[in-house]
Amino acid sequence: MQRVLVTGAGGFIGGHLVRRLRDEGVASIRAVDVKPVDEWYQAFPDVENVVANLEGIDEARRATRGTDTVFNLAADMGGMGFIENNKAMCMLSVLVSTHVLMAAREAGVERFFYSSSACVYAAGKQSSPEVEPLREDDAYPAMPEDGYGWEKLFSERMARHFAEDFGIATRVARYHNVYGPHGTWAGGREKAPAAICRKVATAKLTNDRRIEIWGDGQQTRSFTYIDDCLDGTLRLMASDVAEPLNIGSSQLVTINELVDMVSDIAGVQLKREYVLDAPQGVRGRNSDNTKVRALLGWEPTTTLQDGLAATYAWVHDQVAARLVGP
Residue 325 has pLDDT above 80, yes or no: no
At 266, the pLDDT band (50, 70, 90 cuts) reads very high
Whether residue 166 sits in one domain with residue 87: yes
* Range from 74-78, 240-244, 273-277 carrying the lowest mean pLDDT: 74-78
Query: Is residue 291 included in any domain, yes or no?
Result: no
Q: What is the pLDDT of residue 281?
A: 83
| Percent of the chain residues past pLDDT 90, beyond the cut | 90
Report if pTM > 0.85.
yes
Cα 265 to the center of its chain, rounded Å: 24
* Phi, psi for 40 (deg, rounded to 5): -70, 150
What average pLDDT does range 74-100 have in this prediction? 91
Domain that includes residue 81, residue range? 3-178+224-247
**CA distances, 84 to each of 34, 42, 141, 151, 212 (Å):** 22, 27, 22, 14, 19
Whether residue 229 sits in one domain with residue 210: no
| Percent of the chain residues past pLDDT 70, beyond the cut | 100
Catalytic member of 41, 148, 225, 312: 148
Q: What is the pLDDT of residue 1?
A: 81
What integer best gives the mean pLDDT of the chain?
95
Residue 39 DSSP code: G
Those residues with Cβ within 8 angstroms of residue 297's Cβ, 6 or more apart along the chain or in another chain:
235
Pairwise CA distance, residues 135 & 122, whole Å: 11
Helix/strand/coil for 29: strand
Contact of 137 with 76, CB cutoff 8 Å: no
Whether residue 241 sits in one domain with residue 207: no
At 188, the pLDDT band (50, 70, 90 cuts) reads confident
Q: What is the pLDDT of residue 55?
A: 97
Whether residue 42 sits in one domain with residue 14: yes
Whether residue 205 sits in one domain with residue 193: yes
Whether residue 193 sits in one domain with residue 61: no
Pairwise CA distance, residues 159 & 151, whole Å: 12
Whether residue 29 sits in one domain with residue 90: yes
148 is catalytic: yes
The total of other beta-carbon atoms located within 10 Å of residue 324's CB is 8
Pairwise CA distance, residues 62 & 67, whole Å: 10
Query: Is residue 262 included in any domain, yes or no?
Result: yes
Whether residue 197 sits in one domain with residue 233: no
Those residues with Cβ within 8 angstroms of residue 133's Cβ, 6 or more apart along the chain or in another chain:
250, 252, 286, 287, 288, 289
Q: What pLDDT, in 10s, does the model give residues 285-313?
A: 999 999 999 999 999 999 999 999 999 99
Residue 56 has pLDDT above 70, yes or no: yes
Largest CA distance in the chain: 60
Pairwise CA distance, residues 196 & 206, whole Å: 15
At 326, the pLDDT band (50, 70, 90 cuts) reads low
Whether residue 117 sits in one domain with residue 64: yes
* Range from 38-52, 68-82, 169-183 carrying the lowest mean pLDDT: 68-82
Residue type for position 173: A
Whether residue 216 sits in one domain with residue 128: no
Whether residue 135 sits in one domain with residue 274: no
Residue 73 DSSP code: -
CATH code of the domain covering residue 202: 3.90.25.10
Run of H or E residues at 224: strand 224-225
Nearest CA to 228 among 286, 177, 159? 177
Pairwise CA distance, residues 40 & 48, whole Å: 14
Residue 249 has pLDDT above 70, yes or no: yes
CATH code of the domain covering residue 18: 3.40.50.720
Nearest CA to 139 among 245, 57, 61, 240? 245
Q: What is the pLDDT of residue 82?
A: 86
Query: Is residue 293 included in any domain, yes or no?
Result: no
Q: Which residue has the higher pLDDT, 158 or 76?
A: 158
Nearest CA to 191 among 321, 80, 315? 80
Number of domains in the chain: 2
At 147, the pLDDT band (50, 70, 90 cuts) reads very high
Rounded (5°) CA angle 110-115-118: 145
Whether residue 212 sits in one domain with residue 157: no
Pairwise CA distance, residues 83 & 89, whole Å: 9
